[in-house]
Structure 1
Amino acid sequence: MAKKIGVLLSGCGVFDGAEIHEAVLTLLFLDRAGASAVCMAPDMDQLHVINHYTQQPSDERRNVLVESARIARGDIQDISTVSADSLDALIVPGGFGAAKNLSDFAVKGPEAQVNPQVRRLLEEMVQRSKPIGAVCIAPATVVRALSQKSPQVTIGSDPGTAAAIESMGGIHCACGVADICVDEKNSIVTTPAYMLGPGIKDVAAGIEKLVNKVLSLCRADSD
């Protein structure tokens, strides 16, 4: 039976939602590996909307679940209806939405709050020893939600973000774009992706490794 891997999206677009390249590469590599992606997002307003052409704020309101549905081709669930019992693993692509909508790390840094449903699902995954993958800036939200577990993650090499992660109780590991950081104790896999870039072929290498490692960590009894 195909593994069911949750893909937690945070909108649609790097500056205010999920990074589209990272999200699509995650879905591609899951499909190539024979896994079944279960896309989800919180049903909430985005922190704000950015015009991706001008990269300036726009006077609009958009819903995270509705925008995420664009990436998922409409096949998406409200995260509040998803439990860890229905998944074998969970992967969180990056983009500013991971730090603006799934949490407010982009605004509050180490004092951030995580969306309650996102926190619930992350805690459930760890409690059930089910693997979590996080891409780009998403590890910051994972660390904030799971700080009591002292997760080891990477966001690449940015000193400020690494320091914020450590101040939240995480352990930061410097990592190249084509590589992954594996927290064996907590079954958390991370990769820098566009925190380092520079291009889609570069981030693809690390995301493919992350997807394959997450799948390898899925429990045999979930087959």
Structure 2
Amino acid sequence: MNCHPAKVNSDMLAIENLIKRFDQPGGGELTVLDVPQFNIAVGEQVALIGQSGGGKTTLLHLIAGMLTATSGSIRINNLELTRLSEQGRDRFRAGTIGYVFQTFNLLPAFSALENVKLGMSFGSGSVDATRASDLLDRVGLSDRAHYRPNQLSVGQQQRVAIARALAGRPKLLLADEPTANVDPASADTVLNLIIDSCRDENISLLMVTHSMDVAQRFQRCDKLEDINRAFSPLGAGT
């Protein structure tokens, strides 16, 4: 499959002249990202494919407000993220963005259901117990609601992480190599869950991956090397 970027008019995510540099131990700076333009429309699902070291995770962290840009603009749902304080970015992320981490990041002391409920409380501060239960049912884990993460398989943990990311009804879902740590059968289940859930709730989706099998499931696939002028497969960042 050939990945060709699609030009769209977007009012969900709009990136312009985004640069991220990191200080190097021996002095100087390393430019990991230099993205002139990148857009995602409302409800659009985009796969961003690239090798390790190209800045995929760094880009997601910038979009989520976990990192600050060296320069440039990140506009999400008509709000300029780069102008917010750290607390402002945290509040905005909790209310607008869902994040599916590669390593799940479930809280080990809490059950699957409690982890999903926490995903809600971070956003609005309120918890919809019915939606939390429904989400676990959607990902096929209603019978594991009271299991803690260490009592679940890797694939089950990833499905809980998806339910948690969807819990706050985000407008934009970011997924960082969500199939990388699961077996092929579970990977297909995980991918279907993310794609179908975002379509059903009209959530914009950006998934980064190194897998062409994953990328070909998307109508739009962009190559990281095409949007990032600082791309280097041996550079810093993942």
* TM-score normalised per structure 2: 0.30
Greater RCO between the two (CA within 8 Å, min separation 6)? 2
* TM-score normalised per structure 1: 0.31
Larger strand share, 1 or 2: 2
